[in-house]
């Protein structure tokens, strides 16, 4: 049952919202804290594709991959980057040393709930090898929790919070009145109204689109002009083993010769699985990998995306990427596509027969097809050129049977105009994490939760 009023209402139970709650609870300056989560409790989250009940996404609502306690990170690979070099834009709004301090603090909290202490260190020999081919490897100390261990850590964090704050799952915040601070919540078909003295949006990518609409409705400025579009590449794991065994995750930038565009290789999953992701009903691809040996596959996969930055008057990069991804959904009969690189380069579709002949076996049942029918030429040219550049440091990357699952997009939420994470002209309403356009990783979203926690704790004094 909801109270009429709370000192703090947190919207979203992802890593950002959870770390915020942890910080508030540990300082004990607020008594009534409500955390409202649209998705299911962590232990009830189960994707029917992952459990093998269905072959393709049946668009569950809520989506058990993106929504629910633990947020989008609950079933992630649990790669935790101890760096501010990538993973978000917090250093745009704060001193990067401060951000790093919070990343370390979040890491310590996660370790206290069982996360591994083992880290992969940067490797200058591999960086030099890349530089010889105009490939630019970003370096960071990386932790790999693994999907299974990451899930356990999240479970312990949520269990710690239970009883200390009120957590309401399967509860969707449909509106917030910025003047009266009323929060409108739909739960089991009923609508509840609660008041929050302070309200924090920690809504992640799954809530970004509605948050943007809320900002527009309330004349709150938000800004975004970037989107990344590309494919999930799947190759035999031995192809990138000389990198993954040393640094776990190669993150490599390349500027294409043809267009001068930036492409990024990232989100590497060693001996992992390609998975689908549902964003507002549009299916895209992603990847993850388990730590347990018996759950590992023969393939590694990574995202290879081409960055597009738009200029005025165009302001809808997310809608643009969704339109591209929805073409792949349309062509595949409501799923995602897979094509062999050799077929793509030879201008022919991968069909069932050709896929059956592939030496690389897909870990996701994507529909064999033709990516050139849905992906814009520019992005596709960039991806093919980059695969050949990567092939120089990891021969085998641009093989005929290299599998390209598409479309993969990274939608970056519009950055809402804030001062110290308090939304401009919305006193006592804050925004953090991926959904507010500040972060795009577990580490920075976790740090952002702690930062806002410190701001709120100071205000309570
Ligand atoms: C498959 C996958 C793998 C990933 N792997 C990695 C990785 O290995 N390393 C890494 O650094 N990052 C990874 N990421 C990204 C990482 O998960 C996110 O950067 C991180 O979870 C962002 O945290 P957040 O708290 O901002 O948002 P989220 O974790 O997305 O949490 C937001 C929560 O808010 C809830 N919500 C949204 N709207 C409402 C509403 N109106 N009412 C109530 N609740 C609402 C959502 O249901 C969600 O649970 C991965 C993402 C995915 C999808």
Q: Are residues 168 and 196 both part of a single domain?
A: yes
Q: Would you say residue 132 lies in a domain?
A: no
pLDDT higher than 80, residue 461:
no
CB 341 less than 6 A from any atom of ligand 1: no
The predicted structure's pLDDT at residue 130: 98
Q: Would you say residue 128 lies in a domain?
A: no
pLDDT higher than 90, residue 85:
no
Q: Would you say residue 342 lies in a domain?
A: yes
Convert the pLDDT of each residue in 151-164 to its tens digit.
Answer: 999 999 999 999 99
Convert the pLDDT of each residue in 277-316 to its tens digit.
Answer: 887 789 999 998 887 889 899 999 999 999 988 887 887 8
Which residue has better confidence, 440 or 209? Answer: 440
pLDDT higher than 70, residue 45:
yes
The predicted structure's pLDDT at residue 283: 92
Q: Would you say residue 129 lies in a domain?
A: no
CB 78 less than 6 A from any atom of ligand 1: yes
Residue 328 contacts by C-beta under 8 Å, 6 or more apart in sequence? Answer: 283, 336, 337, 369, 371, 374, 375, 406, 407
Using a CB cutoff of 8 Å and minimum separation of 24, what contacts does 420-428 make?
Answer: 420/455, 421/448, 421/451, 421/452, 421/455, 422/455, 423/201, 423/220, 424/220, 424/221, 425/178, 425/219, 425/220, 426/178, 426/218, 426/220, 428/181, 428/197, 428/198, 428/199
Q: Which of 411, 427, 450 is the last residue of a domain?
A: 411
Q: Are residues 175 and 256 both part of a single domain?
A: no
pLDDT higher than 90, residue 261:
yes
Q: Are residues 15 and 67 both part of a single domain?
A: yes
Read off the pLDDT of each residue in 14-25 and give the average, rounded to a whole number.
98
Q: Are residues 217 and 232 both part of a single domain?
A: no
Which residue has better confidence, 30 or 49? Answer: 30
Q: Are residues 199 and 301 both part of a single domain?
A: no
pLDDT higher than 70, residue 54:
yes
Neighbours of 260 (CB within 10 A): 8
Read off the pLDDT of each residue in 102-125 and give the average, rounded to a whole number.
93
Q: Would you say residue 115 lies in a domain?
A: yes
Q: Would you say residue 157 lies in a domain?
A: yes
Q: Are residues 165 and 249 both part of a single domain?
A: no
Q: Are residues 392 and 244 both part of a single domain?
A: yes
Q: Counting atoms of ligand 1 from 1, which one is nearest the CA of 286?
A: 1
Mutate to test the pocket of ligand 1, among 14, 199, 438 (most ligand atoms within 8 A of CB): 14
Convert the pLDDT of each residue in 373-427 to its tens digit.
Answer: 999 999 999 999 999 999 999 999 999 999 999 999 987 878 899 999 999 999 9
CB 261 less than 6 A from any atom of ligand 1: no
Across 111-125, 276-290, 442-456, least confident range: 276-290
Q: Is the preceding omega at residue 94 within 30 degrees of 0, hence cis?
A: no
Q: Which of 411, 429, 452 is the last residue of a domain?
A: 411
Q: Are residues 322 and 274 both part of a single domain?
A: yes
CA distances for 32 relative to 7, 23, 70, 256, 336, angstroms: 5, 14, 21, 53, 44
Mean pLDDT over each residue of the chain, to the nearest integer: 93
Q: Are residues 146 and 75 both part of a single domain?
A: yes
**What is the tally of structural domains in the chain?**
2
The predicted structure's pLDDT at residue 392: 98
pLDDT higher than 90, residue 345:
yes
Q: Are residues 323 and 267 both part of a single domain?
A: yes
Read off the pLDDT of each residue in 444-460 and give the average, rounded to a whole number.
97
Q: Would you say residue 126 lies in a domain?
A: no
Which residue has better confidence, 312 or 60? Answer: 60
Q: Are residues 266 and 343 both part of a single domain?
A: yes
CB 287 less than 6 A from any atom of ligand 1: no
pLDDT higher than 80, residue 57:
no
The predicted structure's pLDDT at residue 120: 86
Q: What domain range includes position 294? A: 226-411
Q: Are residues 114 and 188 both part of a single domain?
A: yes
Q: Would you say residue 33 lies in a domain?
A: yes
Q: What is the pTM of this model?
A: 0.84
CATH code of 82's domain: 3.50.50.60
Mutate to test the pocket of ligand 1, among 185, 203, 275, 303 (most ligand atoms within 8 A of CB): 203
Ligand 1 centroid to 87 CA: how many Å? Answer: 13
């Amino acid at each position: 049952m909801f109270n009429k009023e709370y000192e703090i209402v947190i919207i979203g139970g992802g890593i950002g919202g959870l770390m915020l709650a942890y910080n508030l609870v540990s300082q004990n300056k607020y008594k009534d804290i409500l955390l409202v989560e649209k998705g299911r409790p962590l232990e009830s989250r189960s994707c029917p594709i992952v459990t093998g009940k269905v072959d393709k996404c049946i668009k569950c609502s809520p989506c058990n991959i993106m929504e629910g306690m633990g947020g989008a990170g609950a079933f992630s690979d649990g790669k935790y980057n101890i760096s501010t070099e990538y993973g978000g834009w917090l250093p745009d709004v704060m001193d990067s040393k401060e951000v790093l301090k919070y990343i370390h603090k979040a890491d310590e909290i996660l370790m206290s709930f069982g996360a591994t202490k083992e880290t992969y260190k940067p490797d200058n020999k591999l960086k030099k090898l890349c530089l010889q081919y105009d490939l630019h490897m970003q370096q960071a100390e990386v932790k790999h929790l693994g999907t299974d261990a990451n899930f356990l850590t999240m479970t312990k964090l949520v269990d710690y919070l239970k009883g200390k704050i009120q957590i309401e799952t399967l509860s969707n915040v449909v509106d917030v009145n910025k003047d009266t601070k009323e929060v409108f919540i739909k739960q089991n078909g009923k609508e509840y109204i609660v008041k929050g003295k302070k309200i924090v949006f920690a809504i992640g990518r799954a809530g970004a689109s509605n948050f943007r609409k809320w900002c527009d409705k309330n004349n709150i400025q938000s800004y975004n002009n970037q989107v990344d579009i590309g494919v999930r590449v799947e190759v035999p794991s031995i192809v990138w083993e000389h990198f993954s065994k040393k640094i776990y995750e190669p993150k490599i930038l390349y500027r294409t010769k043809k267009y001068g565009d930036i492409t990024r290789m990232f989100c590497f999953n060693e001996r992992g699985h390609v998975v689908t992701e549902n964003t507002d009903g549009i299916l895209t691809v992603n990847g993850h990998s388990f730590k347990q040996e018996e759950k590992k596959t023969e393939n590694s996969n990574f995202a290879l995306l081409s960055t597009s930055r738009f200029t005025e008057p165009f302001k809808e990069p997310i809608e643009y990427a969704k339109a591209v991804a929805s073409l792949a959904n349309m062509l595949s009969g409501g799923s995602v596509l897979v094509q062999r690189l050799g077929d793509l380069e030879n201008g022919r579709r991968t069909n069932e027969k050709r896929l059956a002949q592939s030496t690389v076996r897909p870990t996701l049942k994507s529909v064999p097809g033709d990516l050139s029918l849905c992906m814009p030429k520019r992005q596709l040219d960039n991806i093919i050129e980059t695969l050949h550049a990567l092939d120089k440091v990891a021969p085998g990357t641009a093989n005929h049977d290299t599998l390209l699952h598409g479309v993969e997009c990274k939608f970056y939420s519009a950055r809402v105009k804030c001062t110290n994470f308090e939304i401009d002209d919305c006193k006592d309403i804050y925004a953090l994490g991926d959904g507010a356009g500040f972060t795009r990783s577990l580490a920075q979203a976790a740090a952002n939760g702690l930062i806002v926690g410190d701001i709120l704790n100071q205000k309570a004094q």
